[in-house]
């Protein structure tokens, strides 16, 4: 077993995708007539959007669209955002506003459109999280999975799915909902 002092030596692999089961377990919380914006598909294989479509939803997704810099779909063209923002670790309080994950989540709140996103559960206990949600607390609820979500690992570029251990995830995920639910749920 590795310890934290070894963590700088681990290789970083960024081509992990949300498995279909992650969207299946929360589909009951999203009305079937909702059009969904899958916001974080830039340079991806669009697998997440395909899974959401397989669940019967109309999905807006574009792997050329930069959520932070691009022209987003009009707010009227979708009812909610369902996505998994970048998992980039926020290592520095002073540099947090430059962090990709921080900027993405901040923009989600600035859009003021209902959303459900997946996050590493430890994020909700951090100082940066408290800052980014300030003023929106009454609209936030959580869906807590009863077990870890094991993300699909692909070769760099997302072309070929790689075989991994069945339980390869080292952290617990949580679904953060904004203006979608009136209470917390467990699945």
Kindly give the pairing relationship between strand 173-178 and strand 140-144.
antiparallel
Does some domain include residue 2?
A: no
pLDDT band, very low/low/confident/very high, at 171 (cuts 50, 70, 90) = confident
pTM (two decimals): 0.87
pLDDT at 187 (0 to 100)? 97
Does some domain include residue 7?
A: no
Does some domain include residue 76?
A: yes
169, pLDDT greater than 90? no
pLDDT band, very low/low/confident/very high, at 183 (cuts 50, 70, 90) = very high
Ranges of beta strands (E only) in the chain are 16-17, 35-37, 58-60, 80-83, 115-120, 140-144, 152-153, 173-178, 185-186
* pLDDT tens, position by position, 1-49: 344 444 444 444 456 789 999 999 999 999 999 999 999 998 888 999 9
* pLDDT tens, position by position, 108-165: 999 999 999 999 999 999 999 999 999 999 999 999 999 999 888 777 666 777 776 6
Does some domain include residue 26?
A: yes
pLDDT at 4 (0 to 100)? 43
Give dist(CA 151, CA 149) in Å, integer.
6
Does some domain include residue 1?
A: no
Give dist(CA 50, CA 70) in Å, integer.
21
Does some domain include residue 168?
A: yes
| Burial classification of residue 150, based on how many CB atoms lie within 10 Å of its CB (0-12 exposed, 13-18 middle, 19 or more buried) | middle
Which domain CATH number covers 39? 3.40.50.150
**What's the domain count of the chain?**
1
pLDDT band, very low/low/confident/very high, at 96 (cuts 50, 70, 90) = confident
Residue 126 structural domain: 12-186
Q: Residue 109: enclosing H or E segment and its boundaries?
A: helix 100-111
How many Cα atoms sit within 13 Å of 62 on the Cβ side?
Answer: 9
* pLDDT tens, position by position, 42-53: 888 899 999 999
Does some domain include residue 5?
A: no
């Amino acid at each position: 077993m590795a310890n934290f002092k070894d963590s700088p030596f681990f290789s970083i692999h960024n081509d992990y995708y949300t498995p279909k089961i992650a969207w299946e377990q929360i589909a009951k919380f999203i009305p079937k007539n909702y059009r969904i914006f899958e916001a974080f598909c830039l340079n991806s294989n669009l697998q997440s959007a395909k899974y959401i479509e397989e669940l019967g939803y109309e999905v807006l997704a574009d792997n050329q669209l930069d959520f932070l810099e691009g022209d987003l779909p009009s707010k009227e063209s979708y009812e909610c955002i369902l996505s998994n923002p970048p998992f980039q670790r926020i290592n520095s309080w002073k540099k947090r506003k430059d962090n990709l994950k921080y900027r993405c989540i901040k923009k989600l709140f600035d859009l003021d459109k209902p959303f459900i996103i997946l996050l590493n559960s430890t994020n909700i206990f951090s100082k940066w999280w408290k800052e980014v949600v300030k003023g929106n607390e009454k609209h936030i609820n959580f869906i807590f999975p009863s077990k870890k979500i094991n993300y699909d690992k692909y070769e760099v570029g997302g072309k070929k799915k790689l075989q991994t251990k069945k339980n390869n995830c080292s952290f617990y995920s949580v679904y953060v909902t904004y203006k979608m639910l009136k209470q917390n749920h467990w699945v």
